Amino acid sequence: MKKILAISGSTKTSSTNALYISAISQLLGKDFGVSNFPSISNLPHYNPDLDLENPPKSIIDLRLAIHDADGILISTPEYAMGLPGSLKNLIDWTVSSASFSGKPVLALVASTQGEKAYQSIIDILTVLEAKIVPQLIPFAKAKINNDAEITEHETLTRLKSTIQTFVAAMENG
């Protein structure tokens, strides 16, 4: 079974991005085990002074979780024309460890608009040498119901194709 680590850029309890992570988990099917990264808001603020040989325990756990996963699923809203700070903070902690290098990453931006966050996550994960499979879903809240079913046909079709590309990236590497 392939292991996927899901990271939501939203820390909201009732989150559209959490629904999209559930939807993608269901679409991936039984051959994939998706575990949610639990503590994005509990990570310390990135500080190069702490990014030494013995980083904080939460950062060791984060890096191990990424290392152990066959693929990473990120789903995030756009905040103030960019990535949410908590997600950017998590990513900053992975720069020195090169955790994303060569890693298949399905990067979904599910937001009201989201173009800036979409371009930003592509730029960031490209420089970190991830195998990025990106998708933007604008007006995301209106396209999924509370049972995590995607209600718009075109979005569902595109997402299935994105998932196929993500699965192929995991199988090839």
Ligand X SMILES: Cc1cc2nc3c(=O)[nH]c(=O)nc-3n(C[C@H](O)[C@H](O)[C@H](O)COP(=O)(O)O)c2cc1C
Residues making contact with ligand X (CB under 6 A): 10, 12, 15-17, 77-81, 111-114, 140-141
- Residue placing its CB nearer to ligand X in the complex, 10 or 22: 10
**Is residue 38 classed exposed, middle or buried when 0-12, 13-18 and 19+ CB atoms within 10 A define those classes?**
exposed
Structure tokens at 22: 């559930």
Instruction: Provide, rounded to whole angstroms, the least separation between the CB of residue 31 and ligand X.
Output: 26
Whether the CB-CB separation of 94 and 124 falls below 8 Å is answered with no
Instruction: Provide, rounded to whole angstroms, the least separation between the CB of residue 34 and ligand X.
Output: 17
Element (H, E) at 171: helix 153-171
Structure tokens at 90: 């998590």
Instruction: Please give the radius of gyration of the chain, using alpha carbons only, rounded to the nearest integer.
Output: 15
Instruction: Provide, rounded to whole angstroms, the least separation between the CB of residue 30 and ligand X.
Output: 26
Instruction: Provide, rounded to whole angstroms, the least separation between the CB of residue 90 and ligand X.
Output: 15
Residue 6 identity: A
- Residue placing its CB nearer to ligand X in the complex, 159 or 167: 159
